[in-house]
Structures are given as structure tokens and as C-alpha cells.
Structure 1
Amino acid sequence: YTIAPWEVDDIGRVLDEMISQAGVDWVERSYKGKNGTVEHRIDFGRPIGAKKLNVRLEIGVNVAEMPDISYHSADYASEIVGWGPGEGDAKLRTAPIRTGAKGLRRVRKVSLLRNNSVDSLTNATRQIAQQVSQQMRVRRFLVNQSDWCPIGSLNVGDWVPIVGVTDWQKVAQWVRIMQIEEDGDTGSAVITTE
């Protein structure tokens, strides 16, 4: 399927529509092409990558440096309550929806005025609840070549387990590889995750 940029003003929208209709996954790759130019390629798959059960990434063993970790503490909430349209007793409300966060109880109210039924308001509130649980995510790490994790066996889109202890917290989670920057001299790679 070829998309001509002079025929379509928003190629990203066309790709999003094609992907949602087909139910596929995609990964964008950039690499050095012919004559030193940068080339871009979009790979489609169903799904792209695999869950790697035969590799082990452990902080301090083959993950050489402390990984970059991100938190979403500004959005933290232990419960979410959705408020829809209406006023007074007629206002649509959801029951509190737990986010699964552990720690301090903090309730957050979200206004979702476009949802005209309790079911659609509850579904929209559940989607927000999944995003605000203050979950720690490993974003980037340096991995050394080892028997536990041959770098050549990893590919963009793969899900890999990472375990260990950071400065103050234990880590045990699956991360999806979005970028691999290999260093041929040292035999290591910097991996960026989703």
C-alpha cells in the first residue's frame, strides 16, 4: 500500500486508521541508509515482538548501571470518582474505582461531561484509573552481553523481564523494547523501553 504525500495532508491519521482497522502493531525504525542518508521504515506485525522467557536481565549482574526509572506521582490517586453531566442530584457519578495503588489514600475527581450514561462514564473512569496508579517503570538501561541475555536475541517489540534492586526499591517487571543501541566495541547495548 503506497501513500503519496501530495494526495494526503495527514499521513499519520491515515496510518492510525489503517492500523486500528487491521488490528496490527507497528514499530518505526530509523537507520543509516545508502550514501549516509537516514532512512525511516515502519514495520507492521500481529503482534511485533515476542515475550522472551529464555532471557534474564538482572540489575548488578548483566544490567551494568542503575536503570532510568520514571514515576507518575503527579497523577497519583488510590481511587477515582467520575462525574458526568447534570447538576445536583441529577449529576451522573460513578462509585469510587480503585486504581490498585498501594500507599496513601488519595481520591481524585475527574469530570467527563461527554459521557451521558453511567456505563460509559464508568468505562471512561476505569481507563483513567489505569493511568494514575503511580507505577514505577524502567525506561532505559545498559545491558552487557552475557549467557543469560545474548544481545543478538533481542529485537524491537520484544517483552523482557528485568529484576533487581534499585537505590530504594525492588524491581520485577516486564518491559517492552522500543530501541536498541548496540556498541560493537564493548559488546553492550543501551535499551530503551516503552
Structure 2
Amino acid sequence: MNLYICGDMMEKKSDHIFSYPPNLQELDLATLVNLYRERGEILKARAGNYVACAITKKLLKEAKSWFGLFYSQGAWDSLLTKSSDGYPLTEAEMNALGLVYSNRNEPPHREFVEKNIGVLPKLAYLIINDIKQFGFIKEDENGFLMIAPSGEKALQGIAKHMYGKPFTEEMLISFQQAHDVEVQPKGKRKSAARQKDADQTSLF
């Protein structure tokens, strides 16, 4: 797949990164937290059993876990992006880092970032806490976020991996959603807004 730009919309060059399952809203908080905390842990198959790598499809005696999927070490490493320091970044983390980076002159509040990275609020909360603990971002006493040098490098790494170029604001899901609203006829905007409200309601 080649990178190209059509109007203001930017197409991805690669989707070969970690991604969260699309139906996480079906999980209770305790289960979600457990799955999130267990990502990257080594699972050893029971005696006489195997697990299969989600990428190579090869049977393995042990593999790294990711929300019910399993990866060989080589497959796992292939999903890591440059300058991530081994952190399994997804598009949600890219959006979080990108929002903080784009607003570095006027640091955004964490609530704003959590609402605009394209995942469930409870998952967004975990993500912000995790990338802060890892040292990619910093949070002041009032909840405003600033990007650290390591976070900026990680952001550029995943942006180049996904889009083949350095990070720009057009890569953010919030930018793309705003663009969608702008190009829709007025009648369709109301319909889209009602659908979005319905989708949000179904998450809880």
C-alpha cells in the first residue's frame, strides 16, 4: 500500500502495528484492566498443547499475549515501532502523544486528550496513566499534559511507520472526524451526530 493524500485526508502506509479489539465495550472494568496489564506477558502452553502466532500462524509452546492474541517474539518485535523503547504503541497512543505534541504551546488537559484518542474512556484513562508512567508524557498538578523528548521520538516513530512521513496534525483522529463533519451536507451531519450519540450510548 502506498502513501497518498486526497484533499485533506491522509492514507496509511501500513497497519502492521498493535491494535485494540473493537468490542472492548463488552468487557467489565476489571477484565479490561487485567487484559491491559497482561499484554506482553509470556504465556506457556499447557503440556501437550500449543498456541498459534497471530502473524506467522506457527504453533508455539510459549508466546507473548495481547488481548487474547499470541505472538512469537519475532512477530511481536515486528509490531514495535521505532523509538518506542519496547512499548507496544497502537494508534490510540499515537493520538494521545500527537494531541499533546500538537498543543505543546498550550498544554491540553488530560480529560480532553482522553476524550479524543478514539477508544473507550476507561481504556483512555489506562493509556494516559501508562504512557505517563513510562515517561512519554508529563502531567502537572492541575492535570495538564506535556510531551517528553522520549515521547516525541516515539510519536515520530509510529507516525513514520504508519504514514511514511513525520507526524502532522492531519494524522489525528480528532482532525479526521472534524474533516468528516465539514464535508458532509447539513442533513447528513445531523444524522451522523445522532448515530454518534447512539454509538456512545451503546458503550455503557
Task: Report the TM-score, using the length of structure 1 for normalisation.
Answer: 0.20
Q: Which structure dedicates a bigger proportion of its chain to helix?
A: 2
Q: Which structure dedicates a bigger proportion of its chain to strand?
A: 1
